[in-house]
Amino acid sequence: MAEPSEYVPPKVWTWNKESGGRFASINRPIAGPAHEKELPVGKHPLQLYSLATPNGVKATVMLEELLAAGHKGAEYDAWLIKIDGNQFGSGFVAVNPNSKIPALMDRSGPKPIRVFESGAILVHLAEKFGAFLPTEPASRAECLSWLFWQMGSAPFLGGGFGHFYAYAPTKIEYAIDRYAMEVKRQLDVLDRRLAESEYLAGPDYTIADIATWPWYGGLAKGVLYGAAEFLSVHEYKHVNRWADQIAKRPAVRRGRMVNRISGDPASQLHERHDASDFETKTQDKLDEGAATVTI
């Protein structure tokens, strides 16, 4: 392995904004709002502020699954929060002091409830509507165990492997090898579990699957980081079976579209305020309308 250039940490670390690489303009070592900006509020009790990253997709898939299951109270407004400084607006920081998407305001009760962290949003919605979270103690424990496994494991995949493999300004062999090893170990954990169980928590589809699919399903199907060949994801046949099975669900297909700003314009629904938006307000429809007006 090639030896990296020697780096000796100083006695006291100081922030060098210029060394931040691709994300230098949006990363900072402090919390709190950077500017005043109120959040919009739509017509539904559930207000989601998000972006279609894997963590954001968890929330929109969950909401679409609830609606598909007949829970009309799960109607929601999804507002786009681009990770370009908008996450540091005062209104968003008031909902999520950690300035990360997704963030949810539940205005269905006498007092608004803020919920941040994608796993907390899934649990809140599952308990609110009595869906996708088993009530039998052993099954519930299995579901929550896999949910928290995902929450604890994803930073190795995203902030670790994804950052050093795809985004870091220089390729560091040690860092890529370290995180590639861990991601492949995690894929093996999933593959072994899914060899014995249709879904992560057992025979039923739960919030554990909804949380894990955008990350590890996306990795298995070549969506994340362009790393499918590098990680030999084809070797994990049970993960691939599970990923394909979930991808076929209509609510999952809809959930992936919400707050998406890249890829096929027909798959991008920047904001979602009504079920009909999937038919009328995707980016390709908006482009067609703009072209008609121009002509």
d(CA 69, CA 71): 6
Residue entry with tokens 């995707």: 282
Question: For the residues of 94-118, what is the DSSP string, one character each?
Answer: HH-TT--S-EEEE-SSSS-EEEESH
* Tens-binned pLDDT, residue by residue, of the chain (295 aa): 555 568 899 999 998 876 666 666 678 899 999 899 999 999 999 999 999 999 999 999 999 999 999 999 999 999 999 999 889 999 999 999 999 999 999 999 999 999 999 999 999 999 999 999 999 999 999 999 999 999 999 999 999 999 999 999 999 999 999 999 999 999 999 999 999 999 999 999 999 999 999 999 999 999 999 999 999 999 999 999 999 999 999 999 999 999 999 999 999 999 999 999 999 999 999 999 877 665 5
What is d(CA 43, CA 271) in angstroms, rounded to the nearest whole number?
A: 13
Tokens 């249709």 correspond to what residue?
198
Pairing of strands 103-106, 46-50: antiparallel
Cα dihedral 12, 8, 22, 221 sign = negative
What pLDDT does residue 289 have? 81
- The residue among 225, 147, 157 whose CA lies nearest residue 187 is 157
CA distances to 144, 162, 239, 241 from 192, rounded to whole Å, are 18, 23, 9, 12
What values do phi and psi take at 80, rounded to 5?
Answer: -80, 125
pLDDT at 27: 82
DSSP output for 197-263: -SBTTBSS--HHHHHHIIIIIHHHTT-STT-TTTTTGGG-HHHHHHHHHHHT-HHHHHHHHBT--SS
- Token pair, residue 197, equals 């169980």
Q: How far apart are the first and last CA of the chain?
A: 59
The domains of the chain, with CATH numbers, are: 137-254 (1.20.1050.10)
According to DSSP, residue 162 is labeled: I
pLDDT at 28: 85
222 burial (CB, 10 Å; 0-12 / 13-18 / 19+) is: middle
Count of CB atoms within 10 A of residue 224's CB?
A: 23
pTM (global) more than 0.85:
yes
Quote the tokens at residue 235: 């070797």
Distance between CA 121 and CA 115 in Å, rounded?
6
Distance CA 116, CA 73 (A): 20
**112-51-64 Cα angle (round to 5):** 70
